[in-house]
Structure 1
């Protein structure tokens, strides 16, 4: 916020880069099981998209010695908005690095949050142009429905782990003008979770408490499907493909997301969720705060949350923390 006027310079989540030590297996998972389309390759990275993502790609899959988040990127609302957010980051003391020669989008600027995760801002982008065999019947749709695997529609959100959740929330609110729609506060006063949005979606990303004191770790990335029934069908698809289903389908209390979590071959957690996410239309939305007692009740409904949901993250923990 700047004074009482909301800052709306960030338009939406653009793409997420996942690192994988098993690049071929991870590619098969996202292409053949998740039903995403490959839209290009560069260096050690393969770029994929959901059928309703309007940009060239929404997932960058990069071969690496380990797993985890490479970076998460947000598109701004204009070139001027990009300049304003870069200036705000630098004024806040963040080290901002200009990058060029980007696949699928123009010049960008990278920085780290207080926990060490890498974020990127950009404006100029390449809109996806479907080749003849992928052109849809409807011109207001980016690509033909794949009818393959889970049939991912679009990138929805992601969740990072953080040692100090509150510090990260305040950083993003202060520098990017993001709004906090919901949060978790423990009896001790420590913040255990926060959900931020740049637009009218209920959230673009979340941060939750890292249980082992290790900074820079990743919890999951989420892709949207069309309906709750599509989530149930996805469970059958994962079963037939031999994909490990960690938990779900259930319904979260926080944000009311209908969800299913799996692990892709590289070890990263992937969620598929109902695309009909809640909308936050009120410009003066009051942050919902969940107490420790309320969160201990678990999900809104469904089975008890599996323990690994609170302990597994990527990259793997160092041996000294296991």
Structure 2
């Protein structure tokens, strides 16, 4: 019998991400007009945006930079004590950076990197979103009025980090932050090429994929949720009409079972619009393992992802 290990339940959810873009105006127009997000604040070289269903004040910080890529991942803890526990655990790992006063909309923050070098920020104190009169919803249990614009994305669903060492990176997220491994794709030798991890009851909040270029710390994609498969198809038409490069046309994933479309936003970051997926309610969920032979069958309906899915990330590596 497998020895029971008490799970770490200190991280509440994936709260936001910061994306870097060398084309700030074009990227902002993409997220506002085509994705349907609301810009709620700007300061210095950053704009803060939210989907109409985001519980956090914002889910995307968009920052002007020389190269596209990930600025940081923002995680909210369940309590101040939970934040301190995670900070102490990360300090012992040698990957801690230290404390800061926080960023727009949230307080005291512990900063670190994961094993591959992706920047992570943890905090508890957070300002609540209050919709202005123009966005006040009729239903009191919604954070804001439905965004009848573009793809009308609801919220940040998950992120995918590129990694030079999926085993090492996924171990950090599990052992130091309490994420749980829902599914994995492995090599014939048993090493992970993709790890799907969750901290909520979604099938996954975070994926970590092997960067076949061998580069450390790059970003694969951010996924924003819509309400139905039909809205994924609608998003694809919107991207087509506005000249946005579609890397992978709508289809269905095997892992997570989400419907998707993948595009590159003008700054170069890969963005997914998705719907569906399953929930994990069992406390003794057993990790699903996908073998190389099973992965050769392609996606749920047999079509393959493009080869760039395993090599393209941000910052972009010049050949």
8 Å CA contact 2:36, 2:149 repeated in 1: yes
Q: Is 2:69 the partner of 1:68?
A: yes
Following superposition, the deviation at residue 3 of structure 1 comes to 6.7
Contact 2:186 2:290 (8 Å CA) reproduced: yes
Q: Which residue number in structure 2 is paired with residue 186 of structure 1? A: 187
5+ residue gaps, structure 1, are none
Give the CA deviation at 1:269.
0.3
Structure 1 position 101, deviation (Å) = 4.4
State the partner residue of 1:26. 27
The answer on whether the counterparts of 2:246 and 2:262 sit within 8 Å (CA) in structure 1 is: yes
Match of 1:231 in 2: 232
Determine the structure 1 residue equivalent to 2:103.
102
| Matching residue of 1:290 | 290
Tell me if structure 1 keeps the 8 A contact 2:95–2:115.
no
> Match of 2:96, SS?
coil
- C-alpha separation between the residues in 2 aligned to 1:3 and 1:86? 24
Question: What secondary structure is seen at the aligned counterpart in 1 of 2:121?
Answer: strand
What's the secondary structure of 1:152's corresponding residue? coil
Does the CA-based 8 Å contact 2:263-2:270 persist in structure 1? yes
* CA distance in structure 2 between the partners assigned to 1:286 and 1:158 by the alignment: 22
The corresponding residue for 2:79 is 78
What is the alpha-carbon distance in structure 2 between the residues aligned to residue 172 and residue 160 of structure 1? 12
Which structure 1 residue ranges, 4+ long, deviate > 3 Å from structure 2?
A: none
Determine the C-alpha separation between the residues in 1 that align with 2:69 and 2:112: 17
Cα distance between partner residues in 2 of 1:87 and 1:148: 43
- Count matched residues: 317
- Please, what is the CA RMSD of the aligned residues? 1.3
Q: Distance in 1 between matches of 2:63 and 2:13?
A: 22
Distance (whole Å) between structure 1 residues aligned to residue 69 and residue 286 of structure 2:
32
Give the TM-score of the pair, scaled to structure 2: 0.97
| Cα displacement string for residues 97-139 of structure 1 (whole angstroms, at most 9, x for unaligned residues) | 2121410111111101111100111101011111111111111
Which consecutive residues of structure 2, in runs of 5 or more, have no partner in the other structure? none
